[in-house]
Amino acid sequence: MRFSNEWILAFDFFNWAQTQTDYKHSPESYNLMVDILGKAKKFELLWDLIDEMKSLGDCYISFLTMTKVIRRLVRANMFKEAMDVFRGIERFGLSKDTSMLNILMDSFVNGDSVDHAQQVFLEFKDSLPVNTQTFNILIQGWCKAGKVGIARKIMEEMERHGCQPNALSYTCLARFYCDKKDFRKLNGILNEMKIKDCTPTVATYTTLMCLLGKSKQINEALEIYKRMNESDCAPETSSFNSLIFILGKAGRLKDAEEVFNDMPKKGAMPDEVTFNTLIFCYCDHLQEEKALKLLQKMENMGFKPDLKTYAALLKMSCSKKRMKLIYFLLNHMYNNNISIDVSIYSVLISGLCKSERVEHACSFFKEMISKEFLPQDGLYDRLREALEAKNMVEEKEKIEKLMLMAKKRRTVS
């Protein structure tokens, strides 16, 4: 919210630079400005700028320019306008092609409006060559919308059209089945791919493994890992990160550790995500020493801990009621130039409430407000409940007043 007027600064600077003699904006800076105005939803100014670009000659408005315009219009829910830009793209000196159609459809799907994507598909599929990507965008959209039947129909149409569904098409289906907790079908995806002679990639295996793991289907996830190794796909760092997460979350810390230690031998070096993941697993199981040791190792190896690292460690410290450790970690963050954000306050306050360290939770709440952060209602409610349970009436009133003030401040600015 505080930065919502940044576009004005950018725009002023852009216009000022223009007034300097001998200076002409490059097409790239025009594109950047178009994107900034679109992000701020200042479409009138955006169209003025486009007109200016048009008057400057042919090379100013490019495919990239109109891509930005389309994506920003869709993000602002201006679906009809986005479609009209594509329908009349010739006005900008460009011609309709498959990539631009795909951009338009992809924007709609990302804006959760697969209907619009389908509509433009129908409108243009006979006049423009559509490709695998075009179909995959629709498959992804319909799966996201929970209409797997239509996604399957698109796959059939795709084949009739001479495009073979690829690994990505099937990954979309897998995500759908995972959301629906239909693990039988999810597990069947690899076999279905085999029948269709579609070769899974590392990304396919990693995605499936991760989806199953997050749905607590540990054995099935490990089965995917096995199949990956039996195939020609060598697991990559991200595959191992998934595997470590799955094992660790299931409490198999020894196994997770072994995977971690074996990574270099298998040609995949651990990265910051690997460290964060294993640290998270240790914290999740209150293994304080191991977690801190790994933090040390992470730094020794030149990886910087980030907010995720500290969030995990702080959550554990709260569960273990280790106030000293909390302050040690906050200091650690400070030394690493990482400032405490809303998510960290949220971890601290809710964690301390849970551990009945309500006074400490209150002081972090006050600190949070003094830094002009607005606590989420859920967090506020949790603190109030904790205070009520402890019969801390006065403190509760103080907190309520503070929250009111913070909300007022927010509506004024």
Tokens 């099937």 belong to residue: 170
Nearer to DNA, 87 or 285 (CB): 285
Interface mask toward DNA for 296-315; x: CB under 7 A? -----------xx--xx--x
214 binds DNA per the rule CB under 7 A: yes
Q: Which of 166, 217, 317, 355 is in the footprint of DNA by CB under 7 A?
A: 166
Q: Please report, as residue ranges, which positions from 118 to 137 form the binding site for DNA (by CB under 7 A).
A: 131-133, 136-137
Applying CB under 7 A, which of residues 236, 255, 288, 400 lies at the interface with DNA? Answer: 236
Indicate which single residue of 62, 67, 113, 355 sits in contact with DNA (rule: CB under 7 A).
Answer: 67
Q: Which positions ≥6 away from 368 have C-beta within 8 Å?
A: 342, 345, 349, 375
Nearest Cα residue to 349 out of 331, 362, 333, 332: 362
Q: Does 113 bind DNA (CB under 7 A)?
A: no
Which residue of 79, 245, 364, 380 would you call a contact of DNA, by CB under 7 A? 245
Q: How many CA atoms lie within 13 A of 240 on its CB side?
A: 27
User: What ranges in 20-113 are assigned the alpha helix state H?
Assistant: 27-39, 43-55, 63-75, 79-87, 98-110
From candidates 46, 143, 189, 210, binder to DNA by CB under 7 A: 210
Cβ-proximal residues to 155 (8 Å cutoff; 6+ apart), any chain: 135, 139, 165, 169
Q: How far is the CB of 1 from DNA (least distance, A)?
A: 18
CB 284 within 8 Å of CB 246: no
- Extract the tokens encoding 313: 């460690």
Which of 62, 239, 317, 355 binds DNA (CB under 7 A)? It is 239
Q: Mask: binding to DNA, 254-293, rule CB under 7 A, as x and -?
A: -----------------x-xx-xx--x---x---------
Q: If we measure between CA atoms, which residue out of 219, 235, 152 comes closest to residue 189?
A: 152
Cα 404 off chain centre by: 32
Closer residue to DNA in complex, CB, 171/217: 171
Which residues, numbered 34-53, are part of the site for DNA (CB under 7 A)?
A: 35, 39
- Name the DSSP class of 265: G
Residue 4 C-beta: closest distance to DNA, Å:
15
Nearer to DNA, 286 or 405 (CB): 286
H-helix or E-strand containing 25? Answer: none
Nearest to 209 by CA among 179, 187, 185: 187
Q: Is the Cβ of residue 252 or residue 398 nearer to DNA in the bound state?
A: 252
71 vs 116 by CB, closer to DNA:
71
| Span from 1-9, 88-96, 207-215, 382-390 in contact with DNA (CB under 7 A) | 207-215
Whole-angstrom distance, CA of residue 273 vs CA of residue 237: 9
Residue in 71, 332, 360, 396 binding DNA, rule: CB under 7 A: 71
Q: Is residue 110 at the binding interface for DNA, with CB under 7 A as the rule? A: yes
Asked if 234 and 202 count as a contact pair (C-beta separation under 8 A), the reply is: yes
CA 297/CA 123 separation, integer angstroms: 57
CB of 75 to DNA, least distance (A): 7
Q: Which is nearer to DNA, 385 or 397 (CB)?
A: 385
Position 217 contacts DNA (CB under 7 A): no
Q: Are 353 and 383 in contact (CB under 8 A)?
A: yes
- CA-closest candidate to residue 413, choices 5, 42, 1: 1
In one letter, which amino acid is 329?
L
Q: Where are the alpha helices (DSSP H) in 336-392?
A: 342-354, 358-370, 377-389
Residue 317 is a binding residue for DNA (CB under 7 A)? no
Q: Are 365 and 390 within 8 A, CB to CB?
A: no
Q: In the complex with DNA, which residue's Cβ is closer, 319 or 395?
A: 319
- Binding mask 167-206 toward DNA (x if CB under 7 A, else -) reads xx-xx----------------------------xxxxx-x
Q: How many residues touch DNA (CB under 7 A)? A: 51
Q: Which of 97, 105, 92, 19 is nearest to 60 (CA)?
A: 92
Applying CB under 7 A, the residues found at the interface with DNA are 35, 39, 67-68, 71, 75, 102-103, 106, 110, 131-133, 136-137, 166-168, 170-171, 200-204, 206-207, 210, 214, 235-239, 241-242, 245, 249, 271, 273-274, 276-277, 280, 284, 307-308, 311-312, 315, 343
